[in-house]
Amino acid sequence: MTTENTTATAEQPESPEPPESKPSFARLFGRYLIEANSVMVTVYSLLLAFAIGAVLLIVSDEQVRSSYGYFFARPSDALGGSWNLIYSSYMDLFQGAILNFNTLERFQAGNADFGDLLRPLSETLTNATPLIFTGLAVGLAFRAGLFNIGAQGQMIFGMLGALVIGFSLNVPAIVHIPLAILAGAVAGGLFGAVPGVLKATTGAHEVISSIMLNNIAALFLVWALSTKFIHSETRSELVSKPVRDSAELPALLGWLNPSLRVNLAIVVGVAVAVGVWWLLTKSTFGYRIRAVGFNGPASATAGMSVGRTYATTMGAAGALAGLAGAALALGTGSGGVNTATVLEYGFDGITVALLGRANPAGIVVSALLFGALKAGALSAQPDVPVDISTLLQATIVLFIAAPALVKAILRLRTPRGGLVTLEAKGW
């Protein structure tokens, strides 16, 4: 009896092990937060930049800085002063870029109109508009493995092209505006194609040629503004003729308040970003751009013309930067352009493209962020140093361009695919 029971027990199959439970959403999300993936590196880069900005605000303020001289006697003075300085400075940036709470109170009391409430947001969108175009110009070139550092010069030529059409033609607005915008894109595209053609035919690196072309464009702008054809007929300083009313981009919120400068260019910018996304993901040309950017020699072996792709990509990138120039030339009530009109939008586009990871949607969001920083810094003067915006942008670029640095500072985990960086090939 005992033997039979023992045999029966031995013949019984082993019970299957319970299946491993899947990790919860909270656990997966926690792993994602401590991983050096592209999204979290971008987020942490922003946070680190604002942290460094806070330290520099403290160092630059004489009163707060002096309170650290007796820190151990009264630490509350130093800590409280530091917090108040950081909070008020960043709050001033926010109110100058998004929503001013003092204006909100006056609006609720009936002492301000809705247009006054929207002025900070309007300035943010106005500053972000050219950054969308220049960011797309740099980002598109990045996808082909090219570094388009010449967006500044391409934007200048685009501005001149739109400007000439804007004041020289006398046609209805429905024809004038598209023609002026097209002229800006064509002028920027032709100028942008030059470093692409040079790279394709002679092997000249696009960084060297495009940065030299930036200088040529800047000097050409000074000469063009001094010519009788472009120079203003009513002003003595170096400024152009204003474009005709029929060529001005209509203000989106002018019916609320004439001081709201945001115009149709922001709508065009978002539409162009959607178009660039479609080009990269749905078109044959976009596939060639991505293939050449990923592996040029393999693309050539597959029958693709790498040189032609370089030339056409740089031409398309130049057209995008030219649209930024057109937006500046055709802005509402511009009264003409001068050498200060272009500012540093072309170079800032590099920052925008890096932060947006050369993705059109990311570039639009990045442009809005930097537009907010510009608008907030200008509005917060003199309480907040205007250079704080430039400092934050530079620090963000530092961390975005060096994800290994962010990973080391915060001790993040390496993602499965390794650290992702944007690279331009050909050095």
Q: What is the pLDDT of residues 102-138, one digit of tens each?
A: 889 988 888 888 888 999 999 999 999 999 999 999 9
pLDDT of residue 5: 55
Q: Which residue has the tokens 């907030």?
A: 376
Average pLDDT on 209-236 reads 92
* Closest CA relative to residue 132, chosen from 370, 308, 291, 424: 370
The pair of structure tokens assigned to 228 is 């009788």
Kindly report the average pLDDT of the chain as a whole number.
88
DSSP per residue over 249-305, as a string? PPBSSTTT-TT---BTHHHHHHHHHHHHHHHHHHSHHHHHHHHHHH-HHHHHHTT--
Average pLDDT on 339-358 reads 88
pLDDT of residue 3: 54
Per-residue pLDDT for 9 more than 70? Answer: no
Q: Which of 17-26, 88-97, 178-187 has the lowest mean pLDDT?
A: 17-26
Q: Phi, psi (5° rounding) for residue 263? A: -130, -170
The pair of structure tokens assigned to 365 is 């969001």
**Cα(first)–Cα(last) distance of the chain, in Å?**
85
pLDDT in tens, 349-362: 998 998 888 999 99
What domains does the chain contain, in order, with CATH numbers?
36-67+74-97+386-418 (no CATH), 126-379 (1.10.3470)
Contacts of 381 (CB under 8 A, 6+ apart): none
**b/e map 213-247, b = 16+ CB within 10 Å:** bbeebeebbeebbeeeebbbeeeeeebbbbbbebb
pLDDT in tens, 266-298: 999 999 999 999 999 999 999 999 999 998 889
